[in-house]
Amino acid sequence: MRGFAEPYSFPTAVDSANLLGRLFDFDVVPNGLLIDEAGVIRFLHVGGFYLSRTEIRQQVDALLTADFAAGERPAFVVQEPLELETIRGELAHRPDDPDLLLALGDALLREDRARDAAAAFERAAEQRPDDWSVAFALGTALRRAGDRADALRWWHRALELDPQNFTVRKQIWREEHPELFYPTIDTDWQREQLVREGYRR
Amino acid sequence: MAATRHPLTEGDVMPDLTLPGVDGQPIRLRDFAGKRLFIFMWASW
């Protein structure tokens, strides 16, 4: 991918907790997102955003050089992630608030406390039993805690809630069929598996 | 009662985020304040 990015530089981050997926509620990749100098989201494209395609790269170039009228917004409005103590203080007043419980889980994951994070996400799942992203977050925390069986159970639950979710589906595949992902990715198997599973997009 | 979630979309202000880099060092969105930032989201699988 690095070759596609010339002349721009970039770092690569790992979003194993699916924070971006929850913020934007996307269920597929690759996606493109542009944030302007003032921190405003100017462009979001979910799915099929392949940088290997010339027309996509041209679109990115255009976005990076476009003249956005940033208006009078303050420079980059920063919303700090909530700290654990702040979240706990808020939870004392709103113990069942699912957003607070999700924030608690995220904060605990940042401290590598996966088991505690899973407990927080499980409480969030009780409040939002039909939200695939909460089930997915719970599964991800459990997997990080080493509880593979329960992680898979929650990821399958997430897929039940959102049957066309490509991200969840692939996470399950990778866990259940690691030999098809390492050391090389068997894309033929993935194409055939999508047909077997009746995936339509 | 559960609060309603609103996925972010165009026109919204991006909240700050910190994610680990591939080298383990944190990458903070706020460090890019004042710059135009394109985020490409992909998966290795």
pLDDT digits (tens, 9 = 90+) for A63-84: 888 887 644 443 444 445 678 8
**Contact residues, A window 13-32, toward B, CB-based 8 Å cutoff:** 13-15, 19-20, 23-26, 29-32
Tell me the count of A-B CB pairs closer than 8 A: 126
Given the cut 0.95, state whether the ipTM is greater than it: no
Lowest mean pLDDT: which of A70-84, A110-124, A135-149, A183-197?
A70-84
Contact by Cβ (8 Å): A105, A128: no
Look up residue A123 and give its two tokens: 């409480």
Contact by Cβ (8 Å): B3, A97: yes
Q: Distances from the Cα of A119 to the Cαs of A8, A10, A60, A88, in angstroms? A: 41, 35, 40, 14
Instruction: Decide if A47 touches B, using CB distance below 8 A.
Output: no
Please give the Cα distance from A19 to A106 (Å, whole number). Answer: 8
Contact by Cβ (8 Å): A82, A105: no
Q: Tell me the pTM.
A: 0.70
Q: Bigger pLDDT: A74 or A111?
A: A111
Work out the mean pLDDT of chain B and round it to a whole number. 83
- Measure in Å the smallest separation between the Cα of A77 and chain B Cα atoms: 7
